[in-house]
Amino acid sequence: MKRVYNFSPGPSALPLPVLERAAKEMTDTNGSGQSVMEMSHRSKDFKPIIEKTEALLRELMGIPANYKVLFLQGGASLQFSMIPLNLAAVEQGAPKKKAAYIDTGIWAKKAADEAAKYVDVAIRASSKDKSYTYIPSAPAPEAGDAYYHITLNNTIVGTKWEKAPDTGSVPLIADISSCILSEPLDVSKFGILYAGAQKNLGPAGTTVVIIRDDLIGHAPSWTPALLRYDIHVEEGSMYNTPPCYGIYIIGLVLEWLKDLGGVPAIAKKNREKADMFYSYLEKSRNFHSPVEKSARSLMNIPFIPKETDADKRKDIETRFIKEAAAEGLINLAGHRLVGGMRASIYNAMPIDGVQALIKFMEKFEGGL
């Protein structure tokens, strides 16, 4: 069997034991004589699957009882619309409400741009002046803010909030797509947490939303049914057909994580992997991390050649990505909008994968 080390930012590598188990269970899951893909979402066979997935997520993240967990479709991007619609949009003719956003990169900006269709968006801080290579200090919320939105880990630029801001009674909303379950997180500090599954949780197609009770039920009457949290909560994520297979795989990933020792254990491994790679970059003659030390992500590590001549630099990048792929180290290109390279080292990336990348880089640098 050939397996590559996949450094993709998402969809990304899944734990091999999960894939092997899913393959084994593919045609007959839990003695049902069916694949999960064939099951009715309302059947007695699927019910324990979604219940188990939710229970494991609650246990691993320590989700308090006054929070609901939803498994939705539409990706994290649909949450860019659902959040303003459900928390701050108003009936037609009523004065608009306002919401605070912190601009820490492309996804944060997209979330703000989408919200601006429904609410008065105030960008209270931004790190755009330095190409998003740091996390700006977050001002306190202002009176009348309906909510306060941050992107906890910025997948493209490789920054993360070391500490989420304290927003007092204003609900703090965080996009945790690229850091969910990578480190301990105090859920009770947030009003809503949301994440597309395709990085640390499972396949693309499922979005996890964790929402505090008091934030449910405020959408204006014109909100499309599928975009209303209250309807999804009332129907237990089954107002329409949920992404059943994705939910099943998330359940297997969570079991795998629990067996490893849960979030504290994976956080230790993630720290070890990231430290190993950042310290290599610190010593490297030819590459460096563009991100400020205090803001460095554990999950997504961009790195760029020190070469200043644009053509030579491009040539190094092209060769690097091609030669790494030939050695089974794939998807190391940086985001198309920022260039350079990026190693995404989510929970499923083994330490061996990071070591293999470092070994390759030593050889590559020797030939420069």
Ligand X SMILES: Cc1ncc(COP(=O)(O)O)c(C=O)c1O
Stretch that binds ligand X, among 119-127, 175-183, 232-240, 346-354 (CB under 6 A): 175-183
**Nearest position to ligand X, beta carbon:** 75
75 binds ligand X (CB under 6 A): yes
- Three-class secondary structure assignment of the chain: CCCCEECCCCCCCCCHHHHHHHHHHCCCCCCCCCCHHHCCCCCCCCHHHHHHHHHHHHHHHCCCCCEEEEEECCHHHHHHHHHHHHHCCCCCCCCCCEEEEEECCHHHHHHHHHHCCCCEEEEEEECHHHCCCCCCCCCCCCCCEEEEEEECEECCCCEECCCCCCCCCCCEEEECCCCCCCCCCCHHHCCEEEEECCCCCCCCCCEEEEEEHHHCCCCCCCCCHHHCHHHHHHCCCCCCCCCHHHHHHHHHHHHHHHHHCHHHHHHHHHHHHHHHHHHHHHHCCCEECCCCHHHECCCEEEEEECCCCHHHHHHHHHHHHHHHHHCCEECCECCCCCCCEEEECCCCCCHHHHHHHHHHHHHHHHCC
- Respond yes or no: is residue 107 known to be catalytic: yes
How far apart are CB 75 and ligand X at their closest, in Å? Answer: 3
151 binds ligand X (CB under 6 A): yes
114 binds ligand X (CB under 6 A): no
Our CB check for ligand X shows the closer of 274 and 299 to be: 299
84 binds ligand X (CB under 6 A): no
Our CB check for ligand X shows the closer of 34 and 77 to be: 77
Kindly name the residue from 107, 160, 161, 273 that is annotated as catalytic. 107
- Respond yes or no: is residue 175 known to be catalytic: yes
334 binds ligand X (CB under 6 A): no
Kindly name the residue from 145, 160, 161, 199 that is annotated as catalytic. 199
Of these, 155, 167, 237, 297, which contacts ligand X (CB under 6 A)? 155
77 binds ligand X (CB under 6 A): yes
As annotated, the active-site residues are 107, 175, 199
Residues at the interface with ligand X (CB under 6 A): 9-10, 75-77, 107, 151, 155, 175, 177-178, 196
